[in-house]
């Protein structure tokens, strides 16, 4: 199946943002609550009292990165500058209001802006800094490296540097790398088997990494068949990656994937966004429900970034 590169990017951008917006109103609601009051459609208000179609930090930070990847070049200082414009000024947001900022992201941005640390130094590298704040915004760098004429290690190094802007611990970097292996495969061949190929390549690449052991479940042959009660949906990066891929493997279309992700509860917007970006790549732009796309605030603005790469 041949697809235009920028059309795939558009599907991922909107797939990510739509699922983010689906999860925003119910972030921090637990699974028991959502089993009784499931999300079945795009709604507004709720947790952050934001209007229907509002996307959160997940999409804002991804767009901050996309806007700095013009003309085939990468500028990490520009990306950090954009993060500051978002964090302090409300730019790159749906309504001009910045909300739902993770603690590790906020500390990294403050390190850059207030403490004058470089982009190589501002990210947090402690073990308790392994939230999903780099995983949720990493897809622009996966697209950037996809066509890069260089070796695999250099591509992974770029992915890990991008994670390290905020989340510099090796575990967070590996999570972004695993995601990259999967998305690279889906860009080239949008089928379920590409997910397994990506996982296998990631397993081989990180075989000798001590931190790779934290991802043993996702590499297991029976991972897709795990029951939902064994899938955690917290903001911990390993949980978020597992939940997103599990939803993708247990879906037949974009809608079932992202609703499954959001209704797991807890970090609903980020897990929805991560799963939604991969589902966008797998199922395509046209499979994202039209009404959800119409409800998305600044949809045309978001789609415009698909032309940058």
- What is the helix (H) or strand (E) element at residue 219, kind and residue range? helix 216-219
For 262-282, the pLDDT digits (tens) are 999 999 999 999 999 999 999
Domain 5-307 in CATH 3.40.50.720: no
Torsion of CA 140, 142, 144, 150, to 10 degrees: 160
Question: Residue 306 CB: number of other CB atoms within 10 A?
Answer: 21
pLDDT at position 307, please?
86
Cα distance between residue 278 and residue 188, in whole Å? 13
* Residue 154 burial class via C-beta count within 10 angstroms: exposed 0-12, middle 13-18, buried 19 and up: exposed
pLDDT at position 2, please?
54
The rounded percent of the chain whose pLDDT value lies above 70 is 99
Q: Report yes or no: 306 and 14 within 8 Å, Cβ to Cβ.
A: no
pLDDT at position 144, please?
95
Q: Report yes or no: 181 and 201 within 8 Å, Cβ to Cβ.
A: yes
pLDDT at position 136, please?
98
Q: Look at residue 64 and tell me whether its pLDDT is greater than 90.
A: yes
For 88-145, the pLDDT digits (tens) are 999 999 999 999 999 999 999 999 999 999 999 999 999 999 999 999 999 999 999 9
Cα distance between residue 111 and residue 83, in whole Å? 12
Nearest to 179 by CA among 129, 128, 132, 231: 132
Q: Look at residue 71 and tell me whether its pLDDT is greater than 70.
A: no
Domain ranges of the chain: 5-307
pTM: 0.97
Q: Angle formed by the axes of helices 268-283 and 57-66, to 10°?
A: 50
For 224-264, the pLDDT digits (tens) are 999 999 999 999 999 999 999 999 999 999 999 999 999 99
What's the token pair of residue 82?
A: 């954009």
Q: Look at residue 309 and tell me whether its pLDDT is greater than 90.
A: no
Q: Report yes or no: 48 and 100 within 8 Å, Cβ to Cβ.
A: yes
Radius of gyration (C-alpha) of the chain in whole angstroms: 17
Core vs surface per residue 198-224: b (16+ CB within 10 A) or e? bbebbbebbeeeebbebbeebbeeebe
For 186-210, the pLDDT digits (tens) are 999 999 999 999 999 999 999 999 9
Altogether, the residues listed in the chain come to a count of: 309
Cα distance between residue 307 and residue 61, in whole Å? 18
Nearest to 94 by CA among 68, 46, 48, 59: 59
Cα distance between residue 145 and residue 157, in whole Å? 10
For 18-42, the pLDDT digits (tens) are 999 999 999 999 999 999 999 999 9
């Amino acid at each position: 199946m041949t697809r235009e590169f920028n059309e795939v990017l558009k599907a991922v951008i909107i797939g990510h943002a739509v699922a983010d917006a689906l999860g925003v109103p119910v972030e921090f609601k637990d699974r028991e609550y959502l089993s009784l009051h499931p999300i079945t459609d795009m709604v507004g208000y709720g947790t952050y009292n934001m209007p229907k179609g509002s996307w959160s930090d997940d999409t804002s930070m991804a767009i901050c990165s996309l806007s700095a990847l013009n003309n085939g070049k990468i500028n990490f200082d520009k990306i950090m500058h954009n993060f500051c414009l978002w964090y302090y000024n409300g730019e790159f947001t749906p309504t001009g209001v910045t909300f739902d900022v993770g603690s590790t992201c906020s500390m990294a941005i403050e390190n850059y802006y207030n403490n004058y640390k470089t982009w190589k130094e501002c990210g947090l590298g402690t073990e308790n800094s392994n939230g999903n704040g780099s995983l949720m915004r990493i897809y622009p760098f996966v697209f950037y490296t996809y066509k890069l004429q260089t070796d695999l290690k250099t591509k992974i190094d770029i992915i890990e540097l991008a994670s390290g802007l905020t989340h510099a611990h090796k575990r967070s970097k590996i999570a972004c790398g695993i995601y990259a292996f999967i998305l690279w495969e889906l860009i080239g061949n949008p089928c379920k088997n590409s997910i397994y190929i990506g996982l296998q390549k990631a397993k081989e690449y990180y075989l000798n990494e001590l931190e790779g052991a934290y991802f043993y479940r996702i590499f297991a042959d029976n991972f897709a068949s795990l029951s939902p009660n064994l899938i955690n949906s917290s903001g911990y990066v390993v949980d978020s990656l597992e939940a997103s891929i599990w939803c993708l493997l247990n879906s037949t279309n974009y809608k079932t994937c992202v609703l499954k992700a959001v209704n797991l509860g807890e970090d609903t917007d980020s897990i929805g966004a991560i799963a939604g970006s991969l589902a966008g790549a797998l199922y395509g732009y046209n499979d994202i429900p039209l009404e959800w796309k119409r409800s998305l605030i600044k949809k045309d603005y978001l789609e415009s970034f698909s032309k940058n790469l």
